[in-house]
């Protein structure tokens, strides 16, 4: 096993830069740089030397394995954060036989050494990437093992059910309860309902992690770009009285109620012979199909067009723009004026409520990735086979299949094909 190192703090000039080292050679390289090893898990101020040259005066920490983040011998060097200092220490580590870490390699080693399961590792990645308070709370619950704890409880119950089913098969002629086989199936189906309930909530957790997609749609010159700028509180899209100015999708990232939102302005919906504008309309309709929410905009001083009204549904909010120009407002529509600001607080509140409703803001640990959904979905599918399995042996196989599916959630088996995907999302040094 090679010994790795990486800058664990941000790049660039700073007061302090943290260099992490992990692997079987961590102790030897630390001794080479600072002399005698410091007391484990206690910061020690030392001079770093290599080739007879003082590199820096730094705080040094020594973490003998397995009591470390990775489970291996590890060290941290808290350096002065100038680029020249960091570069000099990195060069010294390479000269001493250390290897620069790959993205996520520290956490991957922690997983392989049993320091955390795959869901906790993913939670750490999400914690690093969290943009909002709600994302931070969700990621922290997962990093601290909330999802793993639920998995462990389900796995224990499935294991007990499998043991009872196997007992029914192996000792059918012994003095066992006559309804043991039926009771196992009933208990398994009760467990299946718990899993299905969590599975139904999965899209909400994924939306909180990835962000809610909101598309602004409407006819040309319906005030969509002005609406985007007003909600984003900056000039993100070009605004013109000329119809058809927006030809492509213009995106803005913002936060609403603690939930990250991608707000997209789209081309005006209308029949057109212009090849470029027609492509813009196609992209607008595609964005409408993929969006979690749709803001359907129409000008208050004109009748709503049929193309916009055709997109109405439970995931749509009708917005009557240009309210300062007068006209009648369609029933159920929110009247706003990007010019005066009238109606914008009400629209923002309605949009925030809709976004929060679609995101997983529960305090319980939930599913946050398609991988989680696939693993638990496989488990539920196996449990669905129990009532229709004609033989006790097939019912036992269904329970074993459910256990295999559940184990993929935390990475206890069949994990090699997902490890690169999971840990490739990390930044270097984590």
Question: What residues form the annotated binding site for Mg(2+)?
Answer: 225, 246
Question: How far does the chain reach from its first CA to its final CA, in angstroms?
Answer: 18
CB 207 within 8 A of CB 355: no
Q: How far apart are CA 389 and CA 398, in angstroms?
A: 8
The binding site consists of 20, 76, 115, 221-226, 240-246, 265-268, 430
Interatomic CA distance for residues 295 and 334, integer angstroms: 10
User: What is the rounded distance in angstroms from the CA atom of residue 187 to the CA atom of residue 381?
Assistant: 16
CA angle 32, 37, 40 (to 5 degrees): 140
Q: How many CB atoms lie within 10 A of CB 226?
A: 20
Q: Of 278, 249, 283, whose CA–CA distance to 263 is shortest? A: 249
At which residue do the structure tokens 């997962």 appear? 142
> Is residue 293 within 8 Å of residue 354, measured between CB atoms?
yes
Closest alpha carbon to 244 in 270, 264, 226:
270
What does the alpha-carbon distance between residue 355 and residue 259 come to, in Å, rounded to a whole number? 7
Write out the binding residues for (6S)-5-formyl-5,6,7,8-tetrahydrofolate.
20, 76, 115, 430
Binding-site sequence positions for GTP = 221-226, 240-246, 265-268
What is residue 332's three-state secondary structure? Answer: coil
Q: Which residues contact 232 (CB under 8 A, 6 or more apart)?
A: 252, 254, 263
- 88/92 Cα distance (integer angstroms): 6
Strands (E), 193-274: 212-218, 250-256, 259-265
Q: CA 263 → CA 113, 250, 288, 351, distances in Å?
A: 42, 8, 12, 11
CB atoms closer than 10 angstroms to residue 326 = 8
If you write DSSP's letter for every residue of 56-108 in order, what string do you get?
A: EEEEEEEE-TTSSSSSS-EEEEEEEE-HHHHHHHHHHHHHTT-EEPPTTHHHH
- Annotate 361-381 with three-state secondary structure: CCCCCCCCCHHHHHHHHHHHH
């Amino acid at each position: 096993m090679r010994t790795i190192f990486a800058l664990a703090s941000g790049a660039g000039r700073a007061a302090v830069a943290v260099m992490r080292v992990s692997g079987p050679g961590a102790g030897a390289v630390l001794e080479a740089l600072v002399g005698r090893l410091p007391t484990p898990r206690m910061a020690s101020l030392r001079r770093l030397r290599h080739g007879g040259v003082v590199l820096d005066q730094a705080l040094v920490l020594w973490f003998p394995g397995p009591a470390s983040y990775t489970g291996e011998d590890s060290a941290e060097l808290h350096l002065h954060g100038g680029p020249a200092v960091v570069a000099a220490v990195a060069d010294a580590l390479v000269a001493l036989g250390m290897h620069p870490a790959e993205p996520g390699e520290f956490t991957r080693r922690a997983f392989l050494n049993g320091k955390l399961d795959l869901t906790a590792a993913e939670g750490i990645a999400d914690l690093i990437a969290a943009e909002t308070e709600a994302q931070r709370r969700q990621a922290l619950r997962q990093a601290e093992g909330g999802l793993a704890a639920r998995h462990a409880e389900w796995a224990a119950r499935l294991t007990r059910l499998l043991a009872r089913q196997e007992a029914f098969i192996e000792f059918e002629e012994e003095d066992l309860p006559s309804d043991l086989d039926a009771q196992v199936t009933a208990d398994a189906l009760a467990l299946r309902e718990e899993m299905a309930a969590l599975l139904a909530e999965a899209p909400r957790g994924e939306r909180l992690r990835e962000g809610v997609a909101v598309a602004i749609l409407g006819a040309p010159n319906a005030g969509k770009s002005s609406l985007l700028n007003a909600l984003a509180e900056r000039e993100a899209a070009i605004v013109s009285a000329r119809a058809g100015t927006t030809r492509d999708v213009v995106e803005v990232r913002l936060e609403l109620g603690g939930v990250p939102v991608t707000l997209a302005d789209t081309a005006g919906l209308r029949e057109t012979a212009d090849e470029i504008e027609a492509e813009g309309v196609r992209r607008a309709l595609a964005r409408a199909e993929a969006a979690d929410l749709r803001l359907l905009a129409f000008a208050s001083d004109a009748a709503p067009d049929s193309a916009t009204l055709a997109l109405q549904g439970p995931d749509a909010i009708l917005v009557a723009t240009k309210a300062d120009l007068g006209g009648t407002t369609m029933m159920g529509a929110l009247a706003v004026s990007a010019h005066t600001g009238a109606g914008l607080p009400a629209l923002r509140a309605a949009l925030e409520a809709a976004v929060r409703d679609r995101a997983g803001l529960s305090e319980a640990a939930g599913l946050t990735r398609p991988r989680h959904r696939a693993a638990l979905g496989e488990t539920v599918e196996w449990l669905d086979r129990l009532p229709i399995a004609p033989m006790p042996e097939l019912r036992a196989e269904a329970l074993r299949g459910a256990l295999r599916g559940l184990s993929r959630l935390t990475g206890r088996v069949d994990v090699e094909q997902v490890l690169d995907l999971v840990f490739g999302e990390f930044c270097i040094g984590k």
